[in-house]
Each structure stands twice: as structure tokens, then as C-alpha cells.
Chains A and B, each alone.
Chain A
Amino acid sequence: MELLKQIFVEPFEVMYALPDLLLQTLWEGFVSGTLYSLIALGFVLIFKASGVFNFAQGIMVVFAALTLVGIHAFGVPAFLAVILTLGVMALLAFTVVRVVMKPLVNQPDIILFMSTIGITFILIAGGQLIFGGEPKAMITEELGLPTGASDWEVGGGIVIFQHIDIAAAVIAALLIAGLALFFNKTKTGRALRAVADDHQAALSVGISLEYIWVVVWFAAGVVALTAGILWAAKSDVSFALQVVALKALPVLVLGGFTSIPGAIVGGLIIGFGEKLFDLYWGVPILGGGTESWFAFIIALLFLLYRPEGLFGEKLIERI
């Protein structure tokens, strides 16, 4: 009885009593949801074009942010550092496709997946070897990202909007819009969609698979860099960040592996869900700290009912 009350009554009483807190929670959920979406987007890009489930996407986020900060530490101006980092990500994309993906063409998916775990290890250790393992501060101000906050008075309390969070949402939206334009309006983008639809057919009309893959891995690298900058601005650049990036997996399950809108909606659902759940249910009933598994359990339950995700193609092999 007590438990039922804790589940069904008390959370809503708190929500009603403290509307500012609820709004703040929703806003925080929205912001972290956008970032989850961004990370998931990187997965989707590569999965769509090459069928590779790129486990290394999470570490690419850290690696990109680390490279940026590392290059900047040599006294390179921030914007030049961004360009150089993009160069490094392009080089990484080229190397991965040339050295790992191309020889593994036509292997079972699971082999390709495992090879990306291998890449993860190389990037984690290589990143630490080159840049050192200690946490670093993100060069937020040098990049021209806003700091500070605005308040909004509501229901006897305030909701605080961090400018960096607003910027994160705007940048994420711009990036997604940019990618959509790129896919729909450019020649490469169309070739990319052709590859995603059917490898063989794309090959037979003269599209170079290797070129497309490099482009896709590079696009995933750009997304990773963006996600890395925005996330690291909230905390710092450190290897612990890659665990957070694993959150993209449940996001993908919710949204479907091949759907870009799915990644966005899935990210938002996880973002809202875990903040609301932890604050209103997790802390009073389970003692808190539920954020580490909430998303995964939701994904697990979701899989039992709708394995293809919200927007995914119904291609999952079921038995």
C-alpha cells in the first residue's frame, strides 16, 4: 500500500507542489536527450550506409574532444584547432575504412561489430598515450560558446536556462538539419542513400562504396566532435565520458537502428525518461542512482514488444 502510494500518488504531488522543479527537470531531460540523440546519430549514419554497428562511436566522441583540446594546448587558435581536428577525424575515417572495413566486406555483421570494439581499444589507449589520461577542460570560451544563464520565474520558483545548454540544442538542431540537407540535396548524399538502400545496386550504377564509407565515417566523426564539445562543456574531457556514450545504445533500440528521426526521438525519450524517473521514483523508492541502468531496462522492455524500434524498418530477424 505504502509502495503503491509512493509509485502512483506522491511523485505527482511533488510535481504539482514544485512546478519550477518539474519544468527544470524537463529542460534538463531535453538537453541531455539532445546530446544522446547526437551520439546515436553517429551510430545510425554508419549503420545505414554500411551495416556496421560501430561500437567505437562512443570513444570517437572522447577522442575528437581530446584531439581538439590537445591541439589547442599547443597554442593553435581555437578555430584552426577545430579544422585540424576535423582533419584528424577525416584521417581516422579514411584509415578505418581502408585498413579495417574494406578487408572485412561481406563478413558477418557480428565480425564487423567486434572489429569496432578492437578499434575502441586502440583509440582509448592511443588517445591516452598521445594526450595523457588526465581530465582536461573544454575550451568553451575560446570556441565562442556562450556561458552564463537566464532565469525564468514561474510558480514561485525559478527555472534556470544555461546558455551553453540552449546553444547545445541549437547546434544539434543545425547539425541535424545540415545532415538532412546534405543527404537530400547533394550528389554524394544521394549516392549515400543509394548505398543504404542496396549495396549491390549502388555498386552496379558506379557508386564507389569505399568513398561513401569514408564520407559516412567522417560525418560520424563530425557528429562525434560536436557531441564531444557540447558534453565536455558540461563537465570536462575525460575517458570516463565514453561510458555515457554507451547510452546511445538504448536510444538506438527505441528509435530503430536505421532511422535518423528515430535517433532524435529516442534520445529525447531517454533524456526525459531517466531524469523524471530518477527524481520522482528512483530516489524515493530505490535510493537513487538509477540513471546508470534506466535507459537499458527501458530498451529491454521495449524490445519485448516492438523489436524494430519506433521508426525502424521491420527487418529484424525474429523467430
Chain B
Amino acid sequence: MLKKLILGAAALAVAGTVQVTTVSAEDTLYIPSLSYRTGPFAGAGGPISNGFADYFNMLNERDGGIGGAKLVVEECETAYNAQKGVECYEATKGNGALAYNPYSTGITLQLIPKAPVDQIPVLSMGYGLSAAAVGEKFPWTFNYPASYWSQMSSILKYIDANGGVKGKKIGFIYLDVGYGKEPIPLLDKLAPEMGFEWVGFPVGVKEMQNQGATWLNVRKERPDWMIMWGFGAMNPTAIKEAAKIRFPMDKFIGNWWAGAHADLEPVGEAGKGYKASSFSGIGTDFPALQDVIKYVVDAGKSQAKKEDVGKVLYNRGLFNAVIMAEAIRAGQKSSGKVKITGVEMRDGLESFVLDEARLKEIGLEGFTAPITASCKDHEGSGAIFVQQWDGKTWNRISDLIPPMTDVVKPLLEEAADKYVSEQTDWKTQSCG
């Protein structure tokens, strides 16, 4: 028995040395991918990680990387668990990680204070801490292309444009964790200004698939519109329950984490008419996606099934990779080096320009709202569009809706100040 143990340990030790060879060499750029293909939110984590990795692999195959440097994407499984997230961070940051994309609010919050110390930026694309949009206060954190507050204001604008919001009652159903509760201050502020009334319907993480009582309450309150901040198994259950109480589906609108194919496919026809906001295009009718299919998916180098390419969350992961790639290019340009570090990556994240022309150039014309990065504004334009489920797939139904920057900005500043005031020695930056 003991002998076997020793042999086993020896085998492990040998294997450990083998692993070292995979760590990034001179001309590679190392990008850790904190994935969650297991756990309660695996349905969202899988496609995101696939899209993220496939875009970089496509750049490797088609262009030989970025600026001649190959991109190495290494996945580390977090199972959406904050502790494993920290473990993954510690395990990968020494390999020359350029930036972290945690895809979990919990992990993002843990990484925000670590980022300036380890000098590795955090790109929490459309999640995490809304206040991080204030670049002066959070030099190392980015949430392109929009924060939750911007998104909520855009959704309210959409409702206002489609039947008016004045005098209406808006129901807000949310996952009862920090993520779901984040838009509440904005609702509180906008309700008197825009003249609507709002009611909150919290759904506990344990009750994601048991929402009977919540929807009875919705029936009691009779809201005119419902807005959902949901995730994972909460979304299909909520939509099914809404259909059960005959809530008009076209008055039910989810945020960008409550509008994926994985959310609506279990619902099918019953969810017809349900809307959701989004910032990444749907489908594969973009040259960049065709390249991904050609170079990566058809070549068998992707973990994604071919029919899943182009779905909402796949494209969102891909869009995340696009921002990363553009920032890497910008960082390479400003530093004059091919192999950049976290510091130069940060500069890149503050200086890349993803305008209409550039989007067309990389084969994503009309995919998303253009973003011009800056030192001050770490969330970019913040414009979203609305998509609708037709029973089988999602279709984009609106133009880009920019947020109410005038309302959101002061709130963001206030929240950023509060965060900074609780920290001693927090490093801010001044933007010229």
C-alpha cells in the first residue's frame, strides 16, 4: 500500500514537471479564462468560455496571433465559486496574465482590490461593480460596454418609448444576491423623476426553480411591465411561471444575463414575445464569426457544437475576446512591444477605439455599439439593444438605446466615492 502511494507520488511529481512546458514562452500572450462549465450556472458558463476561447484561437489560426504573438488561453474551472475563483487567480497570475474576465460578480469583487497590487486589470464585461465605470476611481477595473445602471436606464427608456412609463407600475424580479439588487438605487431615483411606481420581487438562490409564491405576488400586484435581473435556472422558471399567470410576454423584459438561448430553449413556444436587452449581436452572419467557424469550429478545435456558435452567450464571450484583442493591439501600439504586460494591457484598455470603421474591419459590422475607450469612462458607450424570442430563436427588434448618462453618472460617482472611502490607501488616477 505504502509502496503504491510512493509510486503514485513520484508519478505526480514527474507529471508536474511536464506541465511547466505549457507555460507561456517568449512570443506568446497569456490569457487566463475563469470558466464555469460545472455548478449551478454551467448553462451560461460553457458558451461564454467557448466564444471567448474560439475567437483567440481564430486569431491564432488566421493571423498568427496578435502582432505576431500567439495567444494562449488557459481555462481554470471556478464552478462559479468565489473560493475556487481566488485559487484560479493565484494559480494563473504568475504566468504573465494580461487581464482577468471572471464572469462572476463574486469573483470580480474579490479581484478588484487585488488588481492594482498585482498590476493586472480586471475586465468585467457587463457585470461586477457598476461603480467601476468611474475610471478615475478604479484605474484597474473596466466594465465595457455598459454597467447595470446604464442598462437599467436604457431598459426604462425602451419601455417609455413603447407605451410610456408615466403612471405605470413596473415589477422588478431579481435574483436575491448582490447582482440582482444592484439596480435598486437607480429605480428608486428614477421612479419619482419619470413618474412610475416599482415593486420588487426577490427570488432566493435556493428558490430559483420554485418561484410559485413570487409569481402569485406578481399576480396580486398586477404590474404593467416586468423587468428581470436573473441568471441560470432562474430565467426559464420565471418565464414559465409568467406564462402560467398569463403575464403578457411582450411586457416582460430581461437584462442581458436573462436573455440567452439556454434560458428560453427549455421554455420554447410559451416564451414567445419575451424580450431581453443585449449588447452583442445574434447569429453567425458576421465575417468574423464565419472565420471562427472556418478556422476553429470546423477544424475541430472548439469545445462548442457547431449549432451553438452564434447563440447569444457564445457571441457574448466572443465579444469579450474582441475587446481583449483590441486592447492588446492598442497596448502593443502604445508600448511598441509585442509581448505586453498587465500595465500595458491596462493602457490598452483605456485607449482602444472600436468605432464603426474598426468593427467593419474586424468583420463585426453592426454587431454592437461602438466603444471608444478612455481614462475617465471605463464603461464605454453603454448602448444596448432589445431582442425578442420568437419561440425558436432570438431576433433583434430595436435600435441601439444609449443610457441616461446624466442620471447614471452621478450615481456611479457617488458609489465609487463610497467604495473608495471605505478603503485606506486606495489608488486613484487623474485623467487629464
B214 touches A (CB below 8 Å): yes
Tally chain B residues at the interface, Cβ within 8 Å: 39
B43, A279: Cβ atoms closer than 8 Å: no
A288 touches B (CB below 8 Å): yes
* Contact among B42, B209, B213, B267 with A28 in the assembled complex (CB-CB below 8 Å): B213
B145 touches A (CB below 8 Å): no
B220, A21: Cβ atoms closer than 8 Å: yes
A235, B43: Cβ atoms closer than 8 Å: no
B206 touches A (CB below 8 Å): yes
Within 8 A of A (CB), among B171-189: 176
A14 touches B (CB below 8 Å): yes
A194 touches B (CB below 8 Å): no
A236, B207: Cβ atoms closer than 8 Å: no
* Contact among B46, B207, B233, B246 with A289 in the assembled complex (CB-CB below 8 Å): B207
Complex CA–CA separation, A282 to B202 (angstroms): 11
Determine the residue in chain B with the shortest Cβ distance to A241: B209
A267 CB → nearest B CB, Å: 13
B367 touches A (CB below 8 Å): no
* Contact among A25, A162, A236 with B233 in the assembled complex (CB-CB below 8 Å): A236
Q: Which residues of B contact A21 (CB under 8 A)?
A: 216, 219-220
Q: Which residues of A contact B217 (CB under 8 A)?
A: 278-279, 283, 288
Complex CA–CA separation, A135 to B38 (angstroms): 11
Q: Which residues of A contact B176 (CB under 8 A)?
A: 289
B167 touches A (CB below 8 Å): no
Which of B87-95, B236-244, B345-353, B370-378 forms contacts with chain A? B236-244
B400 touches A (CB below 8 Å): no
A297 touches B (CB below 8 Å): no
Within 8 A of B (CB), among A244-287: 244, 246-247, 274-275, 278-279, 282-283, 287
A136 touches B (CB below 8 Å): yes
Tally chain A residues at the interface, Cβ within 8 Å: 44
A163 CB → nearest B CB, Å: 11
Q: Which residues of B contact A31 (CB under 8 A)?
A: 212
Q: Which residues of B contact A14 (CB under 8 A)?
A: 220
A134 touches B (CB below 8 Å): yes
Given A288-B200, A291-B213; A279-B220 close (CB under 8 Å): yes
A85 touches B (CB below 8 Å): no
Given A14-B220, A133-B46, A134-B46; A234-B200 close (CB under 8 Å): no
A279, B213: Cβ atoms closer than 8 Å: yes
B395 touches A (CB below 8 Å): no
B43, A134: Cβ atoms closer than 8 Å: yes
B262 touches A (CB below 8 Å): yes
Complex CA–CA separation, A168 to B202 (angstroms): 27
B266 touches A (CB below 8 Å): yes
Determine the residue in chain B with the shortest Cβ distance to A277: B213
Q: What are 30 A-B residue pairs whose CB atoms fall within 8 Å in the complex? A: A14-B220, A21-B216, A24-B216, A24-B219, A28-B213, A31-B212, A136-B266, A137-B265, A160-B244, A234-B240, A235-B210, A236-B237, A238-B40, A238-B209, A238-B232, A238-B233, A239-B39, A239-B42, A244-B207, A247-B210, A275-B213, A279-B216, A282-B213, A287-B200, A288-B200, A288-B202, A289-B203, A289-B204, A291-B207, A292-B206
**Which A residues are closer than 8 A to B by beta carbons?**
14, 18, 21, 24-25, 28-29, 31-32, 125, 128, 132-138, 149, 160, 162, 231, 234-236, 238-241, 243-244, 246-247, 274-275, 278-279, 282-283, 287-289, 291-292
Known contacts A135-B43, A137-B236, A235-B237, then 5 further A-B pairs from the complex at CB < 8 Å, ordered by chain A residue: A133-B38, A134-B46, A134-B262, A231-B209, A236-B209
